[in-house]
Amino acid sequence: MELALDPRTKILGFASAMALAFICRDILVVGLLAAAAAVASLLSSERGFVRAGLKSMIPLLAVAFLLWSFAYEWSIFRQYGGYSGFEVGAFMALRLFLILLLSLNFVASIKPSELVKGLEGLGIPYRAAFLLSLTLRHVHTIADDYRAIKEAQMSRGLELDKGSLPKRIRNYVPVMTPLLVRSIERAEELALAMELKNITLKRRRPAARFRLVDAVIVGALAAAVALAALHYWAGVL
């Protein structure tokens, strides 16, 4: 059974974990963070979504490892953490894996309504929070429409990945044109539905108080970010 967390805790937790991913310069620490994020994803009910997302990113991780391993001398991170060669490639690939894993976990664990509620509770204007949530929600809708239209056109004999680059671009016109039309239709349907339901973007709900478990998690993450910043940036610890 998953722990029901306040949406603000999920947002602040994601922001803190991403901050740690960029602040930490030790491969062991980044590896421990990645292991913790992997355990969290395995315990989540959306682990299938996370697994599928990571599987599609394997080529990107491989390219990142090779680039950082052989081209690190031309990078601003050539002396990053005292690593060189394949050590740099492993470190940066592991960091990229951590960033992808954190992002997938966050997307899988928070609903659009929770995102709006959480951002509003953190002081973000309701209009901005609602528009951001709506945008993220329709990214998946557009992706599903694109996949459906592409499969329908390919079943009719359309070859998308053959020929020169200009020809391939022209081949995608029968896919992108109905996708654009469908996106406009969805936008009009959404606007009509909002008007019929008399949805206003000027409301503001009072933020609920943090529960003890949420306060402990947020406090622990804030302390971890502060300690990491003192250690890696200020050299205090």
At 30-81, the pLDDT tens digits run 999 999 999 988 888 888 889 988 998 999 999 999 988 887 776 655 555 5
- Provide the strand spans (E) within 10-126: none
Q: Total structural domains in the chain? A: 2
What was the pLDDT predicted at 99? 95
- Looking at the fold, whether 134 and 112 belong to one and the same domain comes out as no
Higher pLDDT, 51 or 83: 51
Range of the domain at 37: 7-116+207-234
Q: How many residues does the chain have?
A: 237
| CA neighbor of 204 nearest in space, from 124, 109, 149 | 124
pTM: 0.76
Structure tokens at 199: 């949805």
What was the pLDDT predicted at 93? 92
The separation between CA 27 and the C-alpha centre of its own chain, rounded to angstroms, equals: 22
- Looking at the fold, whether 12 and 105 belong to one and the same domain comes out as yes
CB atoms within 10 A of CB 130: 21
What was the pLDDT predicted at 84? 67
Query: How large a percentage of the chain has pLDDT more than 90?
Result: 37
Structure tokens at 8: 């603000």
In the predicted model, is pLDDT for residue 83 greater than 90?
no
The per-residue pLDDT for range 104-125, each reduced to its tens digit, is 999 888 888 888 888 888 888 8
Instruction: Round to whole Å and give the CA distance between 190 and 202.
Output: 18
Dihedral sign for Cα 131, 134, 139, 143, please.
negative
